[in-house]
Structure 1
Amino acid sequence: MGLTDVGINDVELSLKHIFNQWELRTCILLSLFLQVLLILAGPLRRIVSHKSLDILLWSAYLLADVTAIFAVGLISSKQNDLSNQCKNAPSPSSTVLATFWAPFLLAHLGGPDPITAFALEDNELWLRHLFALFTQCGAVIYVFYQSLRPENLWIPSLLMFLCGIIKYAERTYALYCASANTFRDSMLRDPDPGPNYAKLMGEYISKKDAKLPTRIEMLPEPDRVIKVVNRMKTTKLAPLEVVQYAFKYFANFKGLVVDLIFSFRERNQSRDFFLARSYEDAFRVVEVELNFLYDVLFTKLPVVYYKAGFFCRAVSVGAIVTSLVIFHYVDKKKFNPEGFEVGITYTLLIGGIALEAIAFLMLIFSDWTVVKLKPSPDENPNDQSWTGRFIRCVVSTNFTRGKIICWFLNIGTVRGDGSRSEPTDSRWAESIANYNFIFYCLHRRSKTKERFYDQFGLRAFIDEMVYTEHYRLASDMKEFIFKELKMKSEMADDLDTAKEICSARGEWVLRIEGYSGSELFSYVSDVDYDESLLLWHIATELCYNDKEDVTYQREQDRSLDEFHRRISKRISDYMIYLLVMKPGMMSAVSGIGLIRFRDTRAEAYKFFESELSTADKSLPAEQLQKTACERIINVNTDVKPVTIKGDRSKSVLFEAARLAKELKKEEFKKKWEIISKVWVELLSYGASHIRSSAHAQQLSKGGELITVVWLLMAQLGLGDQFQINEGHARAKLIVGK
């Protein structure tokens, strides 16, 4: 027994020794690896909409801070233990390198340039990061105090400490600038007291008392908008012009994120510009605008591009390069006979320089460089100077970056027709998620699995992974959406009309098409927005799988008719995806949408269990979908469901069947044209009424079509974020006739 106990104790001591020896090394290397992962994968967030990437970056973002803070604590703890063991002896040489590692961890806490905040809420925690900056600086200073001596690596340690402070301060300042209050305050104009009222009235009264003919007139300021429009280019925009115009309108409209109000002049200028654009140019400009907004909210780029930022970055790079040179010429034999700690130190130094080099390339090859060197779109885009050629190179690189990344990761999504799509040069994911109610109900999981997922809060996550498909946003869909918005913008010459159009949820389209007094009109005017989404989604699916529609589409070559049918299907599935899978984003407009969805789903479960036989359920998925839709639409709905069921259940399954029967009364082409236009109006209503912060949050997740539509509507002057009074007149005292 004694020998056995001794053997067990030896194993425990051996394992404890290995753990003590490797825990700090592992944390140091893991911290560096997380920095590399974040700087390389962080930029993908704006153009990749994949749950797996989201989870990976979220884990790395949180783990990076925890690992660095834990490693600093480990260094301090180990040095404290060693100093207690040998109080009067000099610091062991093995602890000197650990002391040198501490400021590297402070630099790691500063994080890479492409990802300062994972979510908008992180920006509001800038005070917490400021406090952490002071506490971690204090921890590193305490580490220096414990073991750093003049004969040790004190010069490179202090240089790296300076680098760490700069990096962490950059991150804290970037979070501060992107916080809602600071962001809003930065866009407020200087207070305008207006004309000197007391002085003007004093002069007015004195002239009156002197019996002089006196009056006050309001003189409008020169209309600079008309001059700008007259010079505005109406041909296709070059890539450089896209970036320049995008920055111009980003600077004007970035206040949308914090719900600022814009002037009538700004509305007209932007509206005239976008009305003169093709759908390709309009979408490209808006996409680059959203990229600028992403950089401001989630990265360090806007902070670094200040003169102070450039200076701090130069000092940071110089400090780490100097540290490497000094460390290279130091006698390293006294640090560690095995040389492993020395290897880790070289890895940290070279890795830090590599991270700075990558960050520098990202700074140079960014849209911010373009607008800093050539901000005006009125300048010659074909400038042949070295600056002009360099700028065009940067723009070309940025517009092809998405194509390269998509090719490298093989993440091309599926086209609407089911084929694989080629990677695009888009600045966002440019895909739309589709979630179909009927398909979901037909392919439900077992009740045991549903209860298990519900118990652990995984149901929504699993549903999105299993029941959601992603399709490439087709060019003709962009064109159709822009055409509808452009038509409404042309009609909205005044702000009252613009607000009325934005508040329409299908009424405007039906009124234009002559259905204002029809039964169809009640399905958009007399129901809540979330109910309208679910009603039109199920009705669209019933019509899409209707035998007559399928036969008509197959027997006749009706490409235009099929186009409206496909558009309706895609937007319908996309909007129900937003309603069900993104309730946080849609909370401002969804009402009791999830309750209504759950009740409708329960009724669909019950109906399919009784109406679909075992043979039906064994059919291929597409045929099963058609059969299920046929069974629903064949139910007699002469009496309204609410008359029989009451309003306890919020299910709209058979009310949607009534809507589908109303739509079936229309000729094929007319029916799908109406449905597609109603869906665009439902999309635009949601886009303009969702909270602006919810739109901004989606920029870090690959972007959403509804966010692009939101900004496009604002640029076209559609919305309620504009003030009615123009506010650009001035008072003048006129004496004499």
Structure 2
Amino acid sequence: MAGGPLDLWNHWSIQILVLLSLALQVVLFFFAGIRRRGVNPVLRILLWLAYLLADSTAIYALGHLSLGTISKERKQGELVAFWAPFLLLHLGGPDCITAYALQDNQLWLRHLQILVVQVLGAGYVLYKRIADNGFYVMLASVLMFAVGVVKYVERTWALRGGNMGTIRSSLKRGPDAKHHEFHALDQGFREGAANEEELYVRRAHSVFHICKGAIVDSWIEKDSENHGGEMLRDIINEGYKGMWTLMEVELSLLYDILYTKAAVIHTWRGYCIRLVSPLATVAAFLLFHFSVKDGHRRTDIAITYTLLAGAFLLEMASLLMALGSSWTYSFLCTTRWSWFRYAVLCTGRWNQLRQLVKKITRRQVAGHARRWSGEMGQYNMLHFCSRQDTAFSPVLGKLAKMVGLKEWWNSKHYSGTIQISDELRLWLHWYIEQLPRKNKVNTQGVLRQNWGVQALEVHRCYDNFKGYLGIELQEGIVIWHIGTDVFLAKSSRAKADYGSAQEKLVKTIRILSNYMMFLLVERPEMLPGLAQTRLYQQTCENLVDMWCKVESSSHSHPNRKIRTMMKELFLWRDDPNTSRLLQRDELAVILYSEKPEYSTDVPRLCYANWVAKELLKQEKEKGSKAMLDLLLHVWMDFLVYTANRCSRESHAKKLSSGGELTTVLWLMADYFHKSLLYPQFPIGVRTDSPEDG
């Protein structure tokens, strides 16, 4: 071929674009769900590219077709006009993804404007060309055009429905009635892990209106919530595992509302569209099959069959996924047609259909893929500042520094992840449960006191530490993060006085401290209050200077040091929980021994050092166990305050990339607060701590 790739594009550009558009729809259909649980950044980038390319490819192809209808420079097959409705269908997108980011919902009016332009463009293409293909193809085009327009409008409507203002307006009209019927119909789901998961999914639907009210910070009248009180009572009284499961499922449902078509699918209109669209596609397929195809290129005919088959398979999959979704159960339970609800639910027919759909689609019965991954980030400032910033630094880090991505590399390379343990879940559940009972939140569910205050007051040492909690939350995190590491490095733990229970406390404290620092460094949007970036950077510089002064006097074996440095050359991630633990403690001891005084050059190291000294002083008076309990409660207080005071929009945005621990805790705190609104449904009171039980 004389022209090579350019000649290929000139002759087959529209065919390439149409097939690429279909392929991108398939990719989005199968992989859009990976965002529910934090995944490999490479996969997320590929999904992001597919999402952007899907719209731009379809829009470009429609524009290409529109220009082709008035251009006489080169002969186009008349059959390509039949492909315009399929591009509209592709712009409608799969049901499992509408918005990639929350901002897409906020820009729904822009999508509406694009919708109008693209529908007019596709209509123009059909008007100019489709009559030349015969009556059968023209009728098939009209059918597919109608399906494409409806699905594209549906996507735009779903974007509008995922907007915070729209959700708030829907709550003002009141939640759906008859949610209490879930409880009566769920009694059969009591045994087996899969059935237990199914039970919690259905329970989550029954109180989901509370979750929607929380995300838009909208007040729901007490009388309208009463039907969820009994459900909350049962779940809270079952213990921490049930509450954690409920929160994770609730956030999964919230993800559906914000980032998929769930809100528009599970209505009478949505189900009708999913029933009609496969039938319309089959009708279009038959009309095209029996049409006269003389004069059309075989390649164009094959592409048309591919588009019809792809559309049918995607629409059928959409129908099956919709009918087998737990959202359908919610819809059936709240429908006003009692005879229909009885015929479908009480007879067990819908349960049989759901199981069949799961087998066909090979979906896991347990449904854990819908829920939060259970991972929490880790970042330690002393670990970062004791790094080997020499010629043996990672190669990728040097490249990142060359292209101006040094800060990005440092935050990614020196961070890690850890799976949250059941023990930590129990501690956090207990801590949050006590807040509304002890009148620590106001009528809106907002914490009354600043970070760390409650923990210090409970341990009767607020006066000793009140000047060192920081003016802003991020300042307090820096001070107590460093102070915690210094205290743990200098405490009696070094003398092997700790038992196994205390070692568990130490591990939990470090995890919480590192997680809060991870949020400060890598998720600053999840922290309330003013950012303290300069304070963090200057503190790091001070710690690096301290480390470099004594690094030359290290007594490590030189050969071992060289082997370690060579290994770091190609290290992708330097996890703070597994590497350079001795160096971290050594830097903590150096900081303690230098006793830095306050100055503008060393802004908060003196505060951190003072916190550590006061903890060590009280350790001698009250014992190690008392100080570990204090630190654990302080860090839980930091964490719960962060979750409670973080903006609702930040919580909603984070759901599109796997969710965050603080989001789970925020929702849990809100539900415990709401539970006090139901005096007619008494809830068991537990005041003892997890270690007491």
Q: TM-score, normalised by structure 2?
A: 0.82
Q: Are 2:475 and 1:531 equivalent residues in the alignment? A: yes
Inter-partner Cα distance in structure 2 for 1:593 and 1:114: 38
Deviation at 1:29, TM superposition (A): 1.6
Inter-partner Cα distance in structure 2 for 1:362 and 1:54: 23
**1:312 aligned partner, one-letter code:** I
Inter-partner Cα distance in structure 1 for 2:411 and 2:587: 27
Partner residue of 1:696? Answer: 652
Work out whether residues 502 and 688 of structure 1, in 8 Å CA contact, stay in contact via their aligned partners in 2: no
Q: Deviations over 1:109-130 (max 9, x none)?
A: 1111111001111011111111
> Which SS does the other structure have where 2:377 is aligned?
strand
Partner residue of 1:259? Answer: 217
> Which SS does the other structure have where 2:418 is aligned?
strand
Which deviates further from its counterpart, 15-24 or 164-173? 15-24
Among 71, 77, 99, the alignment partner of 2:61 is: 71
Partner residue of 1:243? Answer: 201
Q: Are 2:279 and 1:279 equivalent residues in the alignment? A: no
Deviation at 1:172, TM superposition (A): 0.5
* Greater C-alpha radius of gyration: 1
Relative to structure 1, is the Cα distance of residues 340 and 458 closer, same or farther in structure 2, using a 3 angstrom cutoff? farther
1:317-396 equivalent positions in 2, closer than 5 A: 317-336=278-297, 339-374=298-333, 385-387=347-349, 389-390=351-352, 393=355
Partner residue of 2:376? Answer: 432
**1:682 aligned partner, one-letter code:** F
Which deviates further from its counterpart, 452-461 or 136-145? 452-461
Partner residue of 2:687? Answer: none
Partner residue of 2:552? Answer: 613
Among 511, 524, 535, the alignment partner of 2:457 is: 511
Relative to structure 1, is the Cα distance of residues 286 and 636 closer, same or farther in structure 2, using a 3 angstrom cutoff? closer
Inter-partner Cα distance in structure 2 for 1:454 and 1:327: 58
> Which SS does the other structure have where 1:578 is aligned?
helix
Q: Are 2:156 and 1:172 equivalent residues in the alignment? A: yes
Relative to structure 1, is the Cα distance of residues 318 and 393 closer, same or farther in structure 2, using a 3 angstrom cutoff? closer
Deviation at 1:562, TM superposition (A): 2.2
Deviation at 1:28, TM superposition (A): 1.4
**1:696 aligned partner, one-letter code:** A
Inter-partner Cα distance in structure 1 for 2:130 and 2:307: 19
Work out whether residues 240 and 392 of structure 1, in 8 Å CA contact, stay in contact via their aligned partners in 2: no
Partner residue of 1:301? Answer: 262
Inter-partner Cα distance in structure 2 for 1:441 and 1:403: 46
Deviation at 1:426, TM superposition (A): 6.5
Inter-partner Cα distance in structure 2 for 1:261 and 1:700: 25
Relative to structure 1, is the Cα distance of residues 461 and 39 closer, same or farther in structure 2, using a 3 angstrom cutoff? farther
Among 612, 626, 635, the alignment partner of 2:582 is: 626
**1:630 aligned partner, one-letter code:** E
Inter-partner Cα distance in structure 2 for 1:178 and 1:564: 42
Q: Are 2:445 and 1:484 equivalent residues in the alignment? A: no
**1:257 aligned partner, one-letter code:** I
Relative to structure 1, is the Cα distance of residues 253 and 17 closer, same or farther in structure 2, using a 3 angstrom cutoff? closer
Inter-partner Cα distance in structure 1 for 2:646 and 2:615: 29
Q: Deviations over 1:250-290 (max 9, x none)?
A: 11331222221345665994875554231110011111111
Q: Are 2:123 and 1:144 equivalent residues in the alignment? A: no
Inter-partner Cα distance in structure 2 for 1:616 and 1:624: 15
Inter-partner Cα distance in structure 2 for 1:677 and 1:353: 57
Relative to structure 1, is the Cα distance of residues 47 and 546 closer, same or farther in structure 2, using a 3 angstrom cutoff? same
Q: Are 2:262 and 1:315 equivalent residues in the alignment? A: no
Inter-partner Cα distance in structure 2 for 1:313 and 1:548: 67
Work out whether residues 611 and 631 of structure 1, in 8 Å CA contact, stay in contact via their aligned partners in 2: no
Work out whether residues 489 and 718 of structure 1, in 8 Å CA contact, stay in contact via their aligned partners in 2: no
Inter-partner Cα distance in structure 1 for 2:658 and 2:207: 21
Among 415, 421, 430, the alignment partner of 1:468 is: 415
Q: Deviations over 1:383-410 (max 9, x none)?
A: 9843374388499999x957999xxxxx
Relative to structure 1, is the Cα distance of residues 527 and 397 closer, same or farther in structure 2, using a 3 angstrom cutoff? farther
In structure 1, list runs of 5 or more residues that go unmatched.
1-9, 86-91, 191-223, 406-423, 723-737
Inter-partner Cα distance in structure 2 for 1:364 and 1:58: 28
Partner residue of 2:23? Answer: 33
Q: Deviations over 1:628-657 (max 9, x none)?
A: 433433446797722xx1xx3464234323
Partner residue of 2:107? Answer: 125
Matched residues, percent identical?
A: 29
Inter-partner Cα distance in structure 1 for 2:518 and 2:658: 16
Inter-partner Cα distance in structure 2 for 1:372 and 1:122: 26
Q: Deviations over 1:96-151 (max 9, x none)?
A: 22111111111111111111001111011111111111111111122123322254
Work out whether residues 86 and 144 of structure 2, in 8 Å CA contact, stay in contact via their aligned partners in 1: yes
Partner residue of 1:573? Answer: 514
Work out whether residues 386 and 583 of structure 2, in 8 Å CA contact, stay in contact via their aligned partners in 1: no
Work out whether residues 22 and 310 of structure 2, in 8 Å CA contact, stay in contact via their aligned partners in 1: yes
In the alignment of these two chains, the number of paired residues is 633
Could you say what the CA RMSD is over the residues aligned between the two structures, in angstroms?
Answer: 3.9
Inter-partner Cα distance in structure 1 for 2:237 and 2:2: 78
Inter-partner Cα distance in structure 2 for 1:306 and 1:130: 21
Work out whether residues 46 and 427 of structure 1, in 8 Å CA contact, stay in contact via their aligned partners in 2: yes
Inter-partner Cα distance in structure 2 for 1:102 and 1:295: 29
Work out whether residues 477 and 567 of structure 1, in 8 Å CA contact, stay in contact via their aligned partners in 2: yes
Work out whether residues 275 and 486 of structure 1, in 8 Å CA contact, stay in contact via their aligned partners in 2: no
Relative to structure 1, is the Cα distance of residues 660 and 144 closer, same or farther in structure 2, using a 3 angstrom cutoff? same
> Which SS does the other structure have where 1:118 is aligned?
coil
Among 27, 45, 48, the alignment partner of 1:58 is: 48
Partner residue of 1:593? Answer: 532
Which one has more relative contact order, counting CA pairs under 8 Å at least 6 apart? 1
Work out whether residues 383 and 583 of structure 2, in 8 Å CA contact, stay in contact via their aligned partners in 1: no
Inter-partner Cα distance in structure 2 for 1:64 and 1:298: 16
Deviation at 1:76, TM superposition (A): 2.5
Inter-partner Cα distance in structure 1 for 2:440 and 2:114: 52
Work out whether residues 211 and 254 of structure 2, in 8 Å CA contact, stay in contact via their aligned partners in 1: no
Inter-partner Cα distance in structure 1 for 2:97 and 2:22: 15
Deviation at 1:469, TM superposition (A): 1.3
Deviation at 1:332, TM superposition (A): 3.3
Relative to structure 1, is the Cα distance of residues 425 and 18 closer, same or farther in structure 2, using a 3 angstrom cutoff? closer
Relative to structure 1, is the Cα distance of residues 131 and 632 closer, same or farther in structure 2, using a 3 angstrom cutoff? same
Deviation at 1:492, TM superposition (A): 2.9
Partner residue of 1:559? Answer: 500
Relative to structure 1, is the Cα distance of residues 496 and 293 closer, same or farther in structure 2, using a 3 angstrom cutoff? closer
Inter-partner Cα distance in structure 2 for 1:639 and 1:606: 14
**2:449 aligned partner, one-letter code:** S
Deviation at 1:574, TM superposition (A): 1.3
Q: Deviations over 1:418-457 (max 9, x none)?
A: xxxxxx6661222111122122222365699879746856
Which deviates further from its counterpart, 702-711 or 458-467? 458-467
Inter-partner Cα distance in structure 2 for 1:670 and 1:437: 25
Work out whether residues 377 and 518 of structure 2, in 8 Å CA contact, stay in contact via their aligned partners in 1: yes
Q: TM-score, normalised by structure 1?
A: 0.77
Inter-partner Cα distance in structure 1 for 2:651 and 2:208: 15
Inter-partner Cα distance in structure 1 for 2:593 and 2:440: 43
Partner residue of 2:691? Answer: none
